Amino acid sequence: MLQCIFLLSDSGEVMLEKQFSGHRVDRSICAWFWEHAISQGDSSKLQPVIASPTHYLFQILREGITFLACTQVEMPPLMAVEFLCRVADVLSDYLGGLNEDLIKDNFIIVYELLDEMIDNGFPLTTEPNILREMIAPPNIVSKVLSVVTGNSSNVSDTLPSATASCVPWRTTDPKYANNEVYVDLVEEMDAIINRDGVLVKCEIYGEVQVNSHLSGLPDLTLSFKNPSILGDVRFHPCVRFRPWESHQILSFVPPDGQFKLMSYRVRKLKSTPLYVKPQLTSDAGTCRITLLVGIRNDPGKTIDSITVQFQLPPCILSADLSSNYGTVNILSNKMCCWSIGRIPKDKTPSMSGTLVLESGLERLQVFPTFQVGFRIMAVALSGLQIDKLDLKTIPARFYKGFRALTSAGEFEIRS
């Protein structure tokens, strides 16, 4: 049972506090958590479950906002973390994003959503489609009406009919003139390449995202050509587990609208689409840096939005960097960003320059780690392929579309 939820800004300020039980959790727990996070260094790699002297803490980080939940009793940690992820997804969906200003401008709706999503510390209604029927999303008209009438509540007077249904994630009997389903494979590649150019780790985290607009109560089946490559699968509650367990087929009654059907991992991939070759040589108080970027394995589609970022070590006083393609920017926090875009056919993009070390240092002692970004449309680098999507119930005729997108996740080149 969760006792409270806090939303913290990137500076540790408590933006929002919601208590779920009679035993109030003091805000001092947030100060303890923030000191613990600072002591760990990189807050993005903080453990999701932390034991404080008085409470068990569960936390996730989204767009610079920390969602922190507290309890003093034993409970399944994955349930708490999953609930925080649901809260973050719902708020992002309602507010059109996640940042400090959006939450402060719409704090009434945030409180109303939390009231419906959790009851006495236990998760209750977490489906966005049902929540939209209960609480109207913010818009200009509703804000003007609240000012004129003095009624700031967005909660509907009637419960959605689906709350008493056997499929509570779906609105009751929707009607569409055009029945259509779109399935997207959205993947992120995580890779680590060491200073010798050896691929240490390469894996894909992927999601099957569905946008469904079907009349009535449709029953869908989705199958893959190579489901054996999938690991660490997680399903939406609408998925029946037994067909997947026996035949690796997804059988489900979809929610109305857009939702995440499943997530998965594909491990131990053998190659990456790009190569990045850094070379650093230092002597006499300066460091010469050269960086080459090119295509290692052509995926058959254009690789765009290519970027390379790295943090200059604290011992660097100044840097003079230039490239033969794209733009190089050095930010005030000593973060160097090289934006390439697409790799041209007539040249290999390269960046070079000189780093000046602080006085007393002859050679560079701390070498930077390079973060690579890219995007490939219409390709799933995991190799996962959709076989077919069938509809068991009426309407028998419907339009279906499939897309794929792969982008870089934590793609690191160590020097």
What pLDDT is recorded for position 139? 67
Residue 32 CA: distances (Å) to CA of 57, 71, 361: 11, 15, 38
Q: Which residue has the tokens 């969602």?
A: 67
pLDDT band at 57 (very low <50, low <70, confident <90, very high): very high
Sheet holding 239-240, edge to edge: 239-240, 249-252, 220-224, 386-391
Q: What phi, psi does 94 have (nearest 5°)?
A: -70, -45
Residue-wise DSSP of 208-251: EEEEEE-SSS--EEEEES-GGG-EEEEE-TTEEHHHHHHH-EEE
Angle between helices 107-117 and 77-95 (to 10 degrees): 140
399 residue type, one letter? Y
What pLDDT is recorded for position 313? 86
Q: Is the dihedral of CA 143, 149, 150, 154 positive or negative?
A: negative
111 residue type, one letter? Y
Please give the residue that has the higher pLDDT: either 7 or 153: 7
What pLDDT is recorded for position 73? 87
| Closest to 179 (Cα-Cα) out of 362, 10, 364, 393 | 393
**Considering only 25-34, 226-235, 255-264, 388-397, which range has the smallest mean pLDDT?**
388-397
pLDDT band at 165 (very low <50, low <70, confident <90, very high): low
216 residue type, one letter? G
What pLDDT is recorded for position 125? 83
CA–CA dist 63, 111 (Å, integer): 20
What pLDDT is recorded for position 141? 52
What pLDDT is recorded for position 349? 93
pLDDT band at 162 (very low <50, low <70, confident <90, very high): low
Show the CA angle centred on residue 241, arms to residues 237 and 244, nearest 5°.
125
pLDDT digits (tens, 9 = 90+) for 60-104: 998 889 999 999 988 899 999 999 999 999 999 888 888 888 888
**Stretch 329-334: mean pLDDT:** 86
What pLDDT is recorded for position 365? 81
